[in-house]
């Protein structure tokens, strides 16, 4: 069979991390080809290299057997490769038709030729069976419909290959079914679809071929018919090495419950979440991105309000309506994205660390700089912040040090409960270990830690207990020391009956 | 300090050096201008000329110190002109009615603070872009000014009232000394207090500030109240200095204030800036104007130069931002 795209020995590095490690794979024309793997396995990066978004450091991409240089999405488009990004890139206030022809509007002597545009639109829509009203504004459409606009835009540019990154992640069940049907229809018209997904059911049902990736490498690539759910999960997780994790925090038998959630819900985000975190315990909320984990943490921290259910902190009713109230109640948070939610990038380390504690350092509103510097220095020493002083602006620090600064923030006047959302995201391996050590140390000193992580290794490596969420609900709980990755994956993905039986026994 | 210093790579260190140079650029430029005028003119470095320059800038410095805080919080306050006018009218009316200078000045300040509170509530509670919000309230305030004054010029008949602004102590005028005090107060507020830290946080990254326990809304409202109060104080001194108050819808004062703040190098993007910068910015403009006048240069050229200087200042800010912070 003829392969429309082939990559040979593709390698891509981001700073010190190898995102793609000598990847070789081929995509057959007119098929649906799935890329599967964990977060960070390199599947999205591979998609982006093929779409010209990223340039490989080594290796080559071949289209129709010819080696090509894809320096930009424009280059890729000229080779007939279009990307439908996870974050859609449409102009919300313009019509469907304007968006489809954006940048290549049919014109006659420089004047827009609306008639021709309309004819071309109808032609495309009929041929690919995509039903859309060309006159409505894009921002009045649902996400699923917007996605179709984006697909149509690619096809209007004569794309033969569509690269889709997690196309169904933001869709409801019926919407994703409809999308998958229309993708199938596209392949019948000769279009090739490369699609990145972590929904294994979809992959098994829809794709003709599948490439399994792990740690930037291709584990195998072949017909989907040869795979089943178990083989995919095994391929995705592999046989894990026992990574460098500290010994788990030990939880005293008589440890008090620090946080208790009773049927906590926030409409549209999560429902009926009940859980407990004890003093000295690290509990991790695991699950796929979008399963409602971060949303739970934000409600506990007062960043959002719950719609029903109750919370208790150290045995007392607790309902913060803003983060400053949560902080006053001895709760700390390390947010999911340190750049947009955590740090003041232009300010020195010291201002960032002391921000929630200024009341402690000030008399009648005036900050005692000497005391502040002393306590901030102690905190930054505790987290082993090296390579910077407390006066260095935050933008001058490495990702690892930025993250450590956020931990230093909660070393001062340590809270009873720390919410740590993706504690090691974008952090180098050395700093990761240091952060795990810190978390265990904080727990040993009696802090209750509710962590959120998308890295399975990390979840299994540091947690005392693991609570798995799927689609806004708690679907199971695992013991941190004995849980396996396949158990965790089964819960997170919602796998078959047999595993469900196991899960129920685990819940008892 | 016990933290160790690992040498940053060469690119980083040169970036810091360039950013550092740009950091004090406005100071060197202003000093250079000062020396240039000193060398090219006999009248420049005389007590009377320098005192005049300082006195002329005093109201701009008073309002500008507070406006610096507004910009750091990530907002604009266009209504400073309208507030100035209303406060001067209120001061004149109260003084004519009561004969009490203290009451008149206090009312001027209070009117400004009240207007500032209105702005703060509109911006923070209704969540309206501050530029649009304060442009709109400006028109409302201008209208109030015409109503208050019954559309006429109010003259202050007791000429002694002008001593409040024009009286001299230790070389400088009273208005200048008040400006010095206001600068010191806002400087202290920004650099040494919890409110100042919260302000930088709220302007630099509102979401991070909120998650760090800052009540962003309250900080923004306070900033507008302070800016209104400072504009009110400036208005009260304006009434004293001119012995008149008249309604108008003239926006020129706020643009002089903004020019000083921006040339000083306070970022219009929020989260960065300093009160001393505004003081330097105000004197840079004052020296430029003074130099043009001394050398009898066409006022039209002055406009061209002033406009270009503002563009250059903002471009320099963008440049150092992109260089220094895009890591």
Considering only residues B87 and B297, tell me which one the structure prediction assigns the higher pLDDT: B87
Q: Which domains does chain A have, with CATH numbers?
A: 3-237 (3.40.50.300), 240-330+415-508 (3.40.50.300), 344-414 (no CATH)
pLDDT at A215: 82
pLDDT at A44: 82
Tell me whether A152 touches chain B (CB under 8 Å): no
Strand partners, B90: none
Q: Does A357 score more than 50 pLDDT?
A: yes
Nearest to B195 among A301, A365, A385 (CB): A365
pLDDT digits (tens, 9 = 90+) for A156-171: 888 899 998 888 776 7
pLDDT digits (tens, 9 = 90+) for A305-333: 999 999 999 999 999 999 999 999 999 99
Nearest to A347 among B204, B213, B215 (CB): B204
Q: Does B27 score more than 60 pLDDT?
A: yes
Considering only residues A401 and B81, tell me which one the structure prediction assigns the higher pLDDT: B81
Percent of chain A with pLDDT over 90: 43
Q: Are residues A342 and B208, on separate chains, in Cβ contact within 8 Å?
A: yes
Q: Are residues A322 and B215, on separate chains, in Cβ contact within 8 Å?
A: yes
* A399 to chain B, closest Cα gap in Å: 10
pLDDT at A185: 85
pLDDT at B1: 38
Q: Does A500 score more than 70 pLDDT?
A: no
Across all residues in chain B, what is the average pLDDT?
88
pLDDT digits (tens, 9 = 90+) for A255-305: 999 999 999 999 989 999 999 999 999 999 998 878 899 999 999 999 999
* A397 to chain B, closest Cα gap in Å: 9
| Contact residues on chain A for B195, CB-CB shorter than 8 A | 365
Residue A88 exposed, middle or buried by CB count within 10 Å (0-12, 13-18, 19+) = middle
Considering only residues A426 and A192, tell me which one the structure prediction assigns the higher pLDDT: A192
Q: Are residues A345 and B272, on separate chains, in Cβ contact within 8 Å?
A: no
Q: What is the mean predicted confidence (pLDDT) over B162-178?
A: 88
Lowest model confidence (mean pLDDT) among A460-474, A490-504, B216-230? A490-504
Predicted ipTM beyond 0.85: no
| Contact residues on chain A for B212, CB-CB shorter than 8 A | 323, 355-356, 409
Q: What is the mean predicted confidence (pLDDT) over B245-249?
A: 93
* Closest chain A residue to B193, measured at CA: A366
Q: Does B11 score more than 50 pLDDT?
A: no
Tell me whether B317 touches chain A (CB under 8 Å): no
Lowest model confidence (mean pLDDT) among A105-119, A210-224, B265-279? A105-119
What total number of domains does chain B contain?
1
Instruction: Tell me whether strands A465-470 and B168-169 are parallel, antiparallel or unpaired.
Output: unpaired
pLDDT at B246: 93
B4, B73, B185, B213: best to mutate for the A interface, most A CBs within 10 A? B213
Instruction: Look at residue B19 and tell me if it is in a domain.
Output: no
| Contact residues on chain A for B211, CB-CB shorter than 8 A | 301, 303, 323, 333, 335, 341-342
pLDDT at A502: 42
Three-class secondary structure of residue A331 per DSSP: strand
| Contact residues on chain A for B1, CB-CB shorter than 8 A | 377, 389-390
pLDDT digits (tens, 9 = 90+) for A452-485: 998 888 899 899 999 999 999 999 999 998 998 8
Confidence of residue A486 (pLDDT cuts 50, 70, 90): confident
Tell me whether A386 touches chain B (CB under 8 Å): yes
Tell how many helices (H) and how many strands (E) occur in chain A.
18, 24
> Can you say whether residue A498 is alpha, beta or left, with left for phi > 0 and alpha for psi between -120 and 50 degrees?
alpha
Q: Does B123 score more than 60 pLDDT?
A: yes
Tell me whether A362 touches chain B (CB under 8 Å): yes
How far is residue A102's CA from residue A96's CA, in Å, rounded to a whole number? 10
Q: Are residues B204 and A365, on separate chains, in Cβ contact within 8 Å?
A: no
Confidence of residue A349 (pLDDT cuts 50, 70, 90): very high
DSSP letter string over A204-259?
A: HHH-SEEEEEETTEEEEEEEGGG--HHHHHHHHH-S------PPPPPPPTTPPEEE
Instruction: Look at residue B17 and tell me if it is in a domain.
Output: no
Q: For the packed helices A399-409 and A429-444, what is the interaxial angle rounded to 10 degrees?
A: 10
pLDDT digits (tens, 9 = 90+) for A11-42: 988 766 678 989 999 999 999 999 988 766 78
Tell me whether A136 touches chain B (CB under 8 Å): no
How far is residue A489's CA from residue A464's CA, in Å, rounded to a whole number? 18
pLDDT at B2: 41
pLDDT at A40: 67
Q: Are residues B208 and A388, on separate chains, in Cβ contact within 8 Å?
A: no
Tell me whether A324 touches chain B (CB under 8 Å): yes
Lowest model confidence (mean pLDDT) among A37-51, A484-498, B222-236? A484-498
Instruction: Look at residue B18 and tell me if it is in a domain.
Output: no
Instruction: Look at residue B307 and tell me if it is in a domain.
Output: yes
Q: Which A positions 401-460 lie with beta carbon below 8 A of chain B?
A: 409
Q: Does B112 score more than 50 pLDDT?
A: yes
pLDDT at A244: 64
Tell me whether B5 touches chain A (CB under 8 Å): yes
Tell me whether B325 touches chain A (CB under 8 Å): yes
Instruction: Look at residue B315 and tell me if it is in a domain.
Output: yes
Nearest to B200 among A323, A344, A377 (CB): A344
Tell me whether B170 touches chain A (CB under 8 Å): no
Q: Which A positions 198-217 lie with beta carbon below 8 A of chain B?
A: none
* Closest chain B residue to A399, measured at CA: B327
Structural domain of B56 = 26-320
How far is residue B276's CA from residue B61's CA, in Å, rounded to a whole number? 10
Contacts of A239 (CB under 8 A, 6+ apart): none
Considering only residues A248 and B131, tell me which one the structure prediction assigns the higher pLDDT: B131
Q: Are residues B200 and A347, on separate chains, in Cβ contact within 8 Å?
A: yes
Instruction: Look at residue B6 and tell me if it is in a domain.
Output: no
pLDDT digits (tens, 9 = 90+) for A202-230: 889 889 999 998 888 898 999 999 988 87
Across all residues in chain A, what is the average pLDDT?
87
How far is residue A108's CA from residue A89's CA, in Å, rounded to a whole number? 27
User: Could you identify the residue written with the tokens 């910015």?
Assistant: B281
CATH code at B158?
1.10.3470
pLDDT digits (tens, 9 = 90+) for B49-61: 999 999 999 999 9
How far is residue B260's CA from residue B53's CA, in Å, rounded to a whole number? 14
Q: Are residues B324 and A343, on separate chains, in Cβ contact within 8 Å?
A: no
| Contact residues on chain B for A303, CB-CB shorter than 8 A | 210-211
Inter-chain CB pairs, A–B, below 8 Å: 104
- Choose from A13-22, A138-147, A426-435 the range with maximum mean pLDDT: A138-147
Q: What is the mean predicted confidence (pLDDT) over A69-75?
A: 87
Q: Which B positions 211-270 lie with beta carbon below 8 A of chain A?
A: 211-215
Q: Which two tokens stand for residue A84?
A: 């439908």
Q: What is the mean predicted confidence (pLDDT) over B285-308?
A: 88
* Closest chain A residue to B189, measured at CA: A366
pLDDT at B169: 79
Percent of chain B with pLDDT over 90: 66
A305, A347, A382: best to mutate for the B interface, most B CBs within 10 A? A347
Instruction: Look at residue B21 and tell me if it is in a domain.
Output: no
pLDDT at B281: 93
pLDDT at A114: 86
pLDDT at A434: 85
| Contact residues on chain B for A359, CB-CB shorter than 8 A | 194
DSSP letter string over B257-316?
A: HHHHHHHHT--TTSS---HHHHHHHHHHHHHHHHHHHHTT--HHHHHHHHHHHHHHHHHH
Q: Does A506 score more than 50 pLDDT?
A: no
Where do runs of H (alpha helix) occur along chain B?
10-23, 25-40, 47-72, 80-98, 101-125, 130-148, 163-166, 174-192, 194-204, 206-211, 216-242, 252-264, 275-294, 299-325
Q: Are residues A395 and B324, on separate chains, in Cβ contact within 8 Å?
A: yes
Q: Does B193 score more than 90 pLDDT?
A: yes
Q: Are residues B215 and A389, on separate chains, in Cβ contact within 8 Å?
A: no
pLDDT at A131: 83
* Closest chain A residue to B203, measured at CA: A344
Instruction: Look at residue B8 and tell me if it is in a domain.
Output: no
Q: What is the mean predicted confidence (pLDDT) over A74-102?
A: 84
Confidence of residue B9 (pLDDT cuts 50, 70, 90): very low
Confidence of residue B211 (pLDDT cuts 50, 70, 90): very high
* Closest chain B residue to A353, measured at CA: B212
pLDDT at A39: 63
How far is residue B66's CA from residue B81's CA, in Å, rounded to a whole number? 13
Nearest to B192 among A324, A340, A366 (CB): A366
């Amino acid at each position: 069979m003829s392969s429309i795209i082939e990559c040979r020995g593709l390698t891509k590095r981001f700073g010190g991390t190898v995102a793609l490690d000598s990847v070789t794979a081929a995509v057959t024309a007119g098929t649906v080809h799935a890329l599967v793997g964990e977060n960070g396995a390199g599947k999205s990066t591979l998609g982006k290299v093929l779409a010209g978004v990223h340039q490989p450091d080594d290796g080559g991409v071949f289209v129709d057997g010819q080696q090509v240089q894809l320096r930009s999405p424009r280059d890729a488009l000229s080779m007939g490769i279009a990307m439908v990004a996870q974050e859609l890139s449409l102009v919300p206030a313009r019509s469907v038709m304007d968006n489809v022809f954006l940048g290549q509007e049919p014109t006659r002597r420089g004047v827009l030729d609306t008639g021709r545009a309309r004819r071309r639109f109808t032609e495309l829509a009929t041929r690919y069976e995509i039903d859309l009203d060309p006159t409505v504004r894009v921002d009045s459409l649902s996400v699923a419909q917007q996605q179709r606009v984006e697909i149509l835009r690619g096809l209007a540019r004569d794309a033969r290959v569509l690269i889709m990154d997690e196309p169904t992640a933001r869709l409801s069940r019926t919407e994703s079914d409809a999308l998958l049907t229309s993708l199938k229809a596209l392949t019948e018209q000769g279009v090739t679809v490369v699609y990145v997904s972590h929904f294994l059911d979809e992959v098994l049902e829809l794709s003709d071929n599948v490439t399994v990736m792990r740690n930037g490498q291709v584990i195998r690539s072949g017909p989907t018919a040869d795979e089943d759910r178990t083989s995919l999960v095994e391929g995705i997780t592999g046989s894990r090495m026992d990574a460098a994790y500290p010994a788990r925090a030990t939880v005293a038998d008589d440890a008090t419950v620090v946080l208790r959630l009773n049927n906590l819900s926030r409409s549209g985000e999560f429902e009926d979440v009940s859980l407990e975190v004890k003093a000295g315990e690290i509990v991790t909320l695991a699950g796929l991105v979008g399963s409602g984990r971060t949303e739970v943490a934000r409600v506990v921290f007062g960043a959002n309000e719950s719609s029903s259910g109750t919370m208790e902190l150290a045995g007392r009713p607790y309902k913060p309506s803003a983060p400053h109230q949560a902080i006053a109640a001895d709760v700390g948070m390390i947010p999911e994205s340190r750049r947009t939610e955590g740090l003041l990038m232009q300010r020195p380390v010291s201002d960032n660390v002391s921000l929630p504690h200024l009341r402690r350092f000030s008399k009648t509103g005036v900050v005692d700089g000497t005391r502040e510097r002393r306590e901030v220095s102690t905190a930054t020493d505790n987290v082993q912040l090296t390579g910077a002083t407390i006066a260095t602006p935050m933008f001058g620090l490495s990702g690892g040090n930025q993250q450590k600064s956020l931990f230093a923030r909660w070393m001062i006047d340590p809270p009873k409960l720390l919410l740590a959302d993706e504690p090691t995201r974008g952090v180098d391996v050395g700093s990761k270990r240091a952060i795990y050590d810190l978390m265990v140390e904080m727990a040993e000193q009696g802090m209750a830690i509710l962590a959120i992580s998308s890295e399975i290794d990390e979840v299994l490596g540091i947690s005392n207990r693991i609570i798995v969420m799927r689609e806004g609900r708690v679907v199971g709980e695992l013991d941190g020391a004995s849980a396996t990755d396949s158990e965790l994956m089964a819960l997170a993905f919602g796998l078959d009956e047999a595993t469900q039986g196991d899960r129920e026994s685990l819940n008892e | 300090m016990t933290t160790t210093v690992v040498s940053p790579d060469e690119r980083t260190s040169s970036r810091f050096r360039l950013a550092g140079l740009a950091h004090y650029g406005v100071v060197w430029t202003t000093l250079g201008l000062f020396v240039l005028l000193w060398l090219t003119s006999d009248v420049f470095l005389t007590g009377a000329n320098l005192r005049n320059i300082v006195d002329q800038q005093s109201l701009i410095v008073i309002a500008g110190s507070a406006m610096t805080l507004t910009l750091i919080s990530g907002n604009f306050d266009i209504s400073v002109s309208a507030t100035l006018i209303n406060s001067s009218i209120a001061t004149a009316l109260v003084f004519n009615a009561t004969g009490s200078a203290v009451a008149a000045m206090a009312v001027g300040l209070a009117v400004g603070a009240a207007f500032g509170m209105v702005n703060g509530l509109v911006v923070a509670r209704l969540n309206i872009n501050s530029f649009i919000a304060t442009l709109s309230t400006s028109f409302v305030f201008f209208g109030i000014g015409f109503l208050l004054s019954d559309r006429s010029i109010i003259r202050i008949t007791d000429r002694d009232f002008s001593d409040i602004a024009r009286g001299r102590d230790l070389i400088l005028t009273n208005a200048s000394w008040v400006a010095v005090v206001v600068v010191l107060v806002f400087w202290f507020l920004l650099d040494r207090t919890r409110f100042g830290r919260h302000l930088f946080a709220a302007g630099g990254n509102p979401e991070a500030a909120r998650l760090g326990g800052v009540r962003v809304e309250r900080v923004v409202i306070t900033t507008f109240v302070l800016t209104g109060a400072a504009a009110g104080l400036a208005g009260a001194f304006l009434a004293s200095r001119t012995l008149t108050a008249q309604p108008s819808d003239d926006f020129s004062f706020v643009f002089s204030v903004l020019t000083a703040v921006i040339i000083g190098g306070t970022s219009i993007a929020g989260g960065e800036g300093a009160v001393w910068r505004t003081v330097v910015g105000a004197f840079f403009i004052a020296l430029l104007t003074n130099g043009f006048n001394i050398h009898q240069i066409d006022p039209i050229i002055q406009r061209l130069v002033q406009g270009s200087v503002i563009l250059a200042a903002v471009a320099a800010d963008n440049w150092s931002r992109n260089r220094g912070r895009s890591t």
